[in-house]
Structure 1
């Protein structure tokens, strides 16, 4: 299970990559840095929130996990 700190770190790094990508896509489709940036920011906030909820929910589900072998 990931610690909350690890989950947050992964989520923030993922969102930074997504923010940059979305800014480029927004700029490409609108021709505006401001509109592309606003689209990216809204997307990042929503995406970060959903990702954290998704990760924390899956950490509570044991289905499909392979138990670690103990060092004996």
Structure 2
């Protein structure tokens, strides 16, 4: 009985996985990059402000970090979409 439940649940997971295994389009990767970087940059600005005590310096650090990490994340996402491992 438990084994039957396990098999049924695994079959359902396998069939739903097939619909999720398609690679993402670049537009989706860009949207994810922007939303994640907004959160990450806010975190960097707050931490920089706490450490330096200077809000203008914190925003400068945040701006540089925003651009560089967004580009790196996008390239990282696109690279992982070419890797078949785990799909």
TM-score range, shorter chain: 0.7 to 0.9
Shift of 1:30: 0.5
Superposition TM-score, scaled by structure 2 size = 0.72
| Whole-angstrom CA distance in 1 between matches of 2:55 and 2:40 | 16
Q: How does 1:1-72 map to 2 (within 5 A)?
A: 1-65=23-87
Structure possessing the higher radius of gyration over alpha carbons? 2
Number of matched pairs: 65
RMSD: 0.6
Larger helix fraction of residues: 2
TM-score, normalised via structure 1 length: 0.87
Structure 1 residue runs of 4 or more that deviate by more than 2 Å after TM superposition: none
